[in-house]
Chain A
Amino acid sequence: MSRVIFPLIVVLVLIAIPILGVKVAGLHLLFGVVIPYVAFAIFILGFIWRVIYWAQSPVPFRIPTTAGQQRSLPWFKQSRWDNPFTTGEVIVRMALEVLCFRSLFRNKRIDFRQLPDGTPILRYSPTKWLWAFALLFHWSFLIILIRHIRLATVPIPGPIEFLDHLDAIFEIGLPQLYLTDLTILAGLLFLLCRRLFIPQLRYISLPADYFPLFLIISIVCSGMLMRYFLRTDIVGVKELVMGLVSFHPHAPVKDIGTIFFVHIFLVSCLFAYFPFSKLMHMGGVFLSPTRNLANNSRYKRHINPWNYPVKTHPYEEYEEEFREFMKQAGIPVEKE
């Protein structure tokens, strides 16, 4: 249980810190400027460091997982996206993987039962829940992130404005309700609930699996509180953010609202945590050798940079040991 409680407590503490820091200690500059800068720097440098760390190790062998027909003879139709042969086909495979979660789409559930006479029955049925909600969560997150650009630009670029309108297309309430606010919450709650309530999932889950969920849920909630309920000074927020992105930061206005500091602090935590966590699957998926390589190793030689000579058992030694047997059996030999 501590695997759930511990990360929950950490997130609660993280929420308390800016409240105390801003309300009690009045550290507006620290929470509004310094911490966001530091967190963002950690994110960028950490991300680059992690990718370089991965890239420092070579890919010695060409080991794609082939999930469809290979390219061999012309009368067999190659599964180009599941078994790519060219770089172009690999790019499509990767795009489908990254944008549509193609592998997750394949997910099947097992159904194991026994007939009254004891005969075992194993059946597999497609299950799309994880795929659907994972997709919902990730796309919502991306759209929300892009939408936030409006706080950091003057004038707001057309596409961002358009996305913003699209997201609030139902024009419910004032300020208008963003669809992605609901969908990201739905995605997050689904992902959390399956971890909590599916026994196998709970068994494999680590604190590091719950922590990002709690953290992002808190971020979403603080954002929604700020927009729909507690109403912050949006002009003050925009001024602050503009200052940050133009590298002319200034101390935030005092009455900007504590909830804003909670939000930006939690976001800072997420950014700073990102490069050192499983969230790096975002970068790692591009480097996965079972997905990002073409299955053409018989067509083109793949080079292993550390391929070293090994001790083999050469033919000469073999013949030396078995020459008499070979001669008697009429098998040709090198030395008579």
Chain B
Amino acid sequence: MAAKTPKPQELLQIDHRPPREWWMDRKVVFKPGTWCYAGRPENVKALDLPFPREWSPDEEDWKLPDNWKEIVLETFRDRLHKFRSLKVFMDICVRCGACADKCHYFIGSGDPKNMPVLRAELLRSIYRGEFTKAGQILGRLAGGRKLTYDVIKEWFYYFFQCTECRRCSVFCPYGIDTAEITMIARELLLEIGININWIMGPVANSFRTGNHMGLLPHTFKDNIEFLCEDIYDITGIKIEPTFNRKGAEILFITPSADVFAEPGIYTCMGYLLLFHYLDLDYTWSTYASEGGNFGLFTSHEMMKRLNAKMYAEAKRLGVKWILGGECGHMWRVIHQYMNTLNGPADFLEVPVSPITGTRFEHAKATKMIHILEFISDLIYHDKLNLDPSRNDHLVVTHHDSCNPVRAMGFIQEPRHVIKSVCNNFYEMPENTIYAETFCCGSGAGLNTDEFMEMRMRGGLPRANAVDYVHKKYGVNRMTAICAIDRAVLPTLMNYWVPGVSISGVCELVGNALVMPGEKPRDIDLRQEPLVRPTAEMPSEDESDV
């Protein structure tokens, strides 16, 4: 079982000064709580990925294939050939150190190899030592080293301690993107059978059943119908969504966690209420029942294999366009990769809101828009009857999820919607939001329990910013437009800032939306009373500051 997570006070003994021994001399120590379990052979096999086997990172022998070194170097060469980004990022870093203290894992752990510059140097040193003349001859004097078994272990440790959040890339004078480096490093490891089960499991599930949770078609439908029953209890409104319906105008896809797990299900209830309110001609799909794509954390190829379902299903059902739910890395894939990988989507039409007639010109090629773009347009055109006071029991802040902000620029859309559906909204300090937002500490497939210590360390900067508004304004709710956020931030908050709950933006929309024919609403979608509990006022917390 996972190691016991240290108490916050133990974890705060962080020393940001580097150790005496230089980084090339230091070997990785696999301390419980800082690494993820290896991919189960059955999952690896189900995906036809190389070298399925039982192995564990904390054991000496990783049971690598005999020719692991050739495979890695061959794959490295291949990726250099395929990605200009990789070539340029291997060559141009000047080690100015601007990125060093931008990584949440470095801030929370003090481990120098969590400085983005050193994380990349783990790969660069091999690039120089194996592929460049100077590095081959001069070795360390030219910043090069040879690829060894220990290097592979180090790669595993640190490239699965990066959440691909891209914060460092914002500050880099050359835009060197550690997410890109980590993605490719993970591809190199994948080729010799090194992967983690928290990614392999969801990917295998998603491939076969259509979603990470492995929900079979009837269960997926059942789950949504359960949510509809709850909605009936809360509002008196009966909703009957459709599944795999041909000829619908819109296909709706959201992360399966919204259908299945708290607190995502309340966000999902928000979607369901909204669509019912609008009488939207839309359908769910059990086949394309996952918005998220852990393929992004596996390899570019796996991302394509999983993402293919979206367009394929849209085509089969004959819908006009696709609407996407609240999810972070899902939107990176849709925005920056989908159309390139699996397009062109010429069988679809440019998204047009059937209610306002707005043509979403900026998505005219990919033909998929974000639910908050859709709702923002409705609010702008005054098409929703909203009662923000129904969120008065909440004092809200918003966590910008990494991918929508730094791989898309999705900043004002959620704020427009949030401010229209609630009365108490406060921003966190400016260097922790917008493009400089901090990761939840558990992204890129690292949201697993055995990684808890690093998750709490990596989440410290985010939690600390929440702590600030929690104490100052009494914030008790943080919204996040990312399913991983919704899954992991409650744990993070319990650890660092008890008293702050997490939800999607559409949950607040669901609370505020005045449904025609509803019964008097005295509870919110969580079935909690709609009065502001006085006990949660900040006074208590502030007394000892």
A179 at interface by CB-CB < 8 Å: no
Q: Is B146 an interface residue (CB 8 A)?
A: no
Cα A273 to Cα B365 with chains together (Å): 45
How many residues belonging to A are interface residues under a CB distance threshold of 8 Å?
106
- B514 CB within 8 Å of chain A: no
- The residue in chain A whose Cβ has the minimal distance to the Cβ of B409 is A70
* Cβ-defined partner of B142 (8 Å) among A67, A202, A207, A302: A207
* B22 with A203: CB separation less than 8 A: yes
Query: When the two chains form the complex, which single residue of B82, B94, B304, B435 contacts A209, counting CB atoms closer than 8 Å?
Result: B94
Tell me which residues across on chain A come within 8 A of B287, comparing CB atoms: 315, 318-319
Decide if B460 touches A63 in the complex (CB within 8 Å): no
Of the stretches A37-45, A165-173, A290-298, the one at the interface is A290-298
Q: Give the contacts of A215-242 with B (CB-CB under 8 A).
A: none
B210 at the A interface (CB under 8 A): yes
* A70-B339 contact given A108-B431, A298-B363, A313-B208, CB 8 Å threshold: no
A139 to chain B, nearest CB (A): 14
Given A209-B95, A281-B174, A318-B287, check contact A325 B216 (CB 8 Å).
yes
Taking the complex as formed, is B511 at the interface, i.e. its CB lies under 8 A from any CB of chain A? Answer: no
In the complex, A204 has a CB within 8 A of chain B: yes
**In the bound complex, what is the Cα–Cα distance between A62 and B343 (angstroms)?**
14
A280→B169 contact, CB < 8 A? no
Interface positions, chain A 106-163, Cβ under 8 Å from B, are 106-110, 112, 114-115, 117-124, 130, 134
Flag the segment in B13-21, B53-61, B63-71, B263-271 that touches A.
B13-21
Q: How far apart are the CA atoms of A10 and B305 in the complex, in Å?
A: 52
Complex Cα spacing A50 to B263, Å = 51
In the assembly, what is the distance between CA of A286 and CA of B318, in Å?
43
* Chain B positions within 8 Å of A200 at CB level: 16-18, 97, 100-101, 112, 115
Q: Given A53-B87, A108-B431, A315-B312, do A134 and B340 touch, yes or no (CB 8 Å)? A: no
Nearest chain A CB to B110 CB, angstrom units:
9
- Nearest B residue to A312 by beta-carbon distance? B308
Q: Is A331 an interface residue (CB 8 A)?
A: yes
User: Is A57's CB under 8 angstroms from B82's CB?
Assistant: yes
Which residue on chain B has the smallest CB distance to residue A209? Answer: B95
A207 near B84: Cβ-Cβ < 8 Å: no
Kindly provide the distance from the CB of A163 to the nearest chain B CB, expressed in whole angstroms: 26
Chain B min CB distance to A175 (Å) = 33
**Closest-CB distance, A126 to chain B (whole angstroms):** 8
Q: CB of A79 within 8 A of chain B?
A: yes
With a CB–CB cut-off of 8 A, which chain A residues contact B416? 75-76
**Chain A positions within 8 Å of B172 at CB level:** 103
How many Å lie between the Cα of A326 and that of B210 in the bound state?
14
Interface residues of A in 1-27 (CB under 8 A from B): 2, 6
Chain A residues contacting B209 (CB-CB under 8 Å) are: 318, 322
Q: Is A72 located at the chain interface by the 8 A CB criterion?
A: yes
Whether B92 pairs with A284 at a CB distance below 8 angstroms is yes
From the candidates B92, B217, B313, name the one contacting A285 in the complex (CB within 8 A). B92
What separation, in Å, do the CA atoms of A105 and B287 have in the docked complex? 47
How many positions in chain B have a CB within 8 Å of any CB in the partner chain? 121
Are B84 and A59 in contact, CB atoms less than 8 angstroms apart? yes
Contact with B along A81-120 (1 / 0, CB 8 A): 0110100000000000100010110111110101101111
- Which of A114, A321, A331 contacts B218 (CB under 8 A)? A331
Task: Give chain B interface residues in 378-433, CB to chain A under 8 Å.
Answer: 380, 405-413, 416, 429, 431-432
**B141 CB within 8 Å of chain A:** yes
- With A68-B411, A198-B97, A331-B221 in contact, is A288–B175 under 8 Å at CB? yes
Decide: A331 and B208 in contact? CB cutoff 8 A.
no
Q: Once the chains bind, are A66 and B435 in contact (CB under 8 Å)? A: yes
Contact A298 B412 (CB under 8 A): no
1/0 per position for A297-319, CB-CB distance to B under 8 A? 11111111011001111110011
Contact of B217 among A112, A121, A288, A331 (CB under 8 A): A331
Docked-complex contact A297 and B435, CB < 8 angstroms? no
- Give Cα A71–Cα B209 distance, bound, in whole angstroms: 35
Q: Is the CB of A110 within 8 A of B107?
A: yes
Task: Point out the residues of chain A lying under 8 angstroms from B368, CB to CB.
Answer: 298
| B344 proximal to A (CB < 8 A) | yes
- Taking a contact as CB atoms under 8 Å apart, the answer to whether A204 and B118 are in contact is yes
Choose the segment among B27-35, B193-201, B239-247, B250-258 that binds chain A (4+ C-beta atoms closer than 8 Å).
B239-247
**Chain B: minimal CB distance from A310 (Å):** 5
Q: Is A67 a contact of B406 with CB atoms below 8 Å?
A: yes
For residue B102, which residues in chain A have a CB less than 8 angstroms away from its CB?
A: 108
Quick one: which of B258-287 are within 8 Å of A by CB?
A: 286-287
Are A288 and B82 touching (Cβ within 8 A)?
Answer: no
Q: Roughly how many angstroms separate A25 CA and B82 CA in the complex, as a whole number?
A: 51
Contacts of A97 in B (CB 8 A): 173, 175
Q: Can you list 12 pairs linking A and B with CB atoms under 8 Å apart?
A: A61-B340, A73-B373, A83-B409, A108-B102, A120-B464, A122-B465, A209-B95, A288-B92, A288-B175, A315-B313, A326-B217, A329-B222
Listed in ascending order, the chain A residues whose CB lies under 8 Å from chain B are 2, 6, 50, 53-63, 65-73, 75-79, 82-83, 85, 97, 101, 103-104, 106-110, 112, 114-115, 117-124, 130, 134, 194, 198-209, 276, 278, 280-281, 284-285, 287-291, 295-304, 306-307, 310-315, 318-319, 321-322, 325-326, 328-332
Q: Which residues of B contact A (CB under 8 A)?
A: 8-9, 12, 14, 16-18, 22-23, 48, 80-89, 91-98, 100-102, 107, 112, 115, 117-118, 121, 134, 141-143, 166, 169-177, 180, 207-210, 216-218, 221-222, 243-246, 286-287, 300-301, 304-305, 308-309, 312-313, 316, 334-337, 339-341, 343-344, 358, 360-366, 368, 373, 376-377, 380, 405-413, 416, 429, 431-432, 434-436, 460-461, 464-465, 467, 544-545
19 A-B pairs besides A55-B84, A306-B82 with CB distance below 8 A are A68-B435, A83-B409, A97-B175, A103-B98, A104-B171, A119-B545, A130-B98, A203-B23, A203-B118, A204-B100, A281-B93, A297-B336, A297-B340, A299-B365, A302-B340, A310-B301, A318-B210, A326-B286, A330-B221
